[in-house]
Amino acid sequence: MTGAVPRVGVVTFPGSLDDGDALRAIEQMGGHAVSLWHGERDLRAVDAVILPGGFSYGDYLRCGAIARFAPVMEPVMAFAERGGPVLGICNGFQVLCEAGLLPGAMIRNRSLRFVCRDVWLRVETAQSCITDGLTPGETIEIPIKHGEGQWIATPEQLADVERDMLVVFRYASRTGIVDEAQNPNGAVNNVAGIRNAAGNVVGLMPHPEHAVDPDVGPTGGQPLFASLLHMAMAGVIG
């Protein structure tokens, strides 16, 4: 831990759109936000890292496929391997999958249309860097905005993810019902977010940075950032 207030770095890739929102959310929740540039390898002594949403490198190959090779990703991956909290939001989730830090892959929404709306998520585990303060089974409301948010996996990967309880969130109704009617993109098993085995790396398609300020929408992102800051402060994953 580098100080009394946790330092959370937000990486900016060419095409990142939500880096500013993530930085603002960190500050609103009581953390110290640190901008990180994709072309640098210095993480500036941060205690947690966020890969934000957007269209890194214009999604010209596959979403996140080019960003995965950015110079900053080498220290980010090393940071994650040491147990540091890493959160990938939307495009950041895609980057984490491309980098092999999370299983599966992201493809076009089943509707082949961009989706942008508020959704309800059912919490599946408290064993992650963003759900430490939440209870499995409860629901939170957070917006989504993506065109390639359908998480898929091989049968073997899916079996491992479900067996090891790596699903962090599923798309659900307000009351926690998980069915196809609540699935906005066709993701297998309604998966909205997953974690690694240690719980320090999490990727999710919804945007918690857009759900912090009660003046502009839902506040389901507040407990996620509170947990991230708590984990960054503690320096360990429970």
pLDDT, tens digit only, all 238 positions of the chain: 445 899 999 999 999 999 999 999 999 999 999 999 999 999 999 999 999 999 999 988 889 999 999 999 999 999 999 999 999 999 999 999 999 999 999 999 999 999 999 999 999 999 999 999 999 999 999 999 999 999 999 999 999 999 999 999 999 999 999 999 999 999 999 999 999 999 999 999 999 999 999 998 999 999 999 999 999 988 634 4
Is 192 a member of any domain?
yes
**Could you tell me if residue 197 is inside a domain?**
yes
Q: What per-residue confidence (pLDDT) applies to 3?
A: 53
**Distance separating alpha carbons of residues 153 and 221, to the nearest angstrom:** 26
Looking at the domain assignment, is residue 144 inside a domain?
A: yes
The angle at the Cα of 23, spanning 218 to 211, to the nearest 5 degrees, equals 5
Quick count: other Cβ atoms within 10 Å of Cβ 21?
A: 20
- Measured in whole angstroms, how far is the alpha carbon of residue 182 from the centre of its chain? 20
Whether residue 209 lies in the annotated active site: yes
From 32, 38, 146, 207, the catalytic residue: 207
Is residue 28 included in any domain, yes or no?
yes
DSSP label of 14: T
Number of domains in the chain: 1
Which candidate in 90, 129, 148, 210 is catalytic?
90
Residue 9 neighbours by CB distance under 10 Å: 27
CA 95, 99, 103 angle in degrees (round to 5)? 90
Spatial distance between the Cα atoms of 187 and 1, rounded to a whole number of angstroms: 37
Residue 74: the pLDDT is 98
Phi-psi region of 217 (alpha: psi -120 to 50; beta: other; left: phi over 0): left
Q: Which residue range is the domain that position 146 belongs to?
A: 7-104+113-234
Residue 84 resides in a domain:
yes
CATH number at residue 44: 3.40.50.880
39 assigned to some structural domain: yes
Catalytic residue among 97, 146, 209, 210: 209
- The question of whether 146 is a catalytic residue gets the answer no
DSSP 148-191: S-EEE--HHHHHHHHHTT-EEEEEE-TT---SGGG-SS--GGGE
Residue 1 resides in a domain: no
In a domain, 134, yes or no: yes
Burial class (CB in 10 A: 0-12, 13-18, 19+), 209: buried
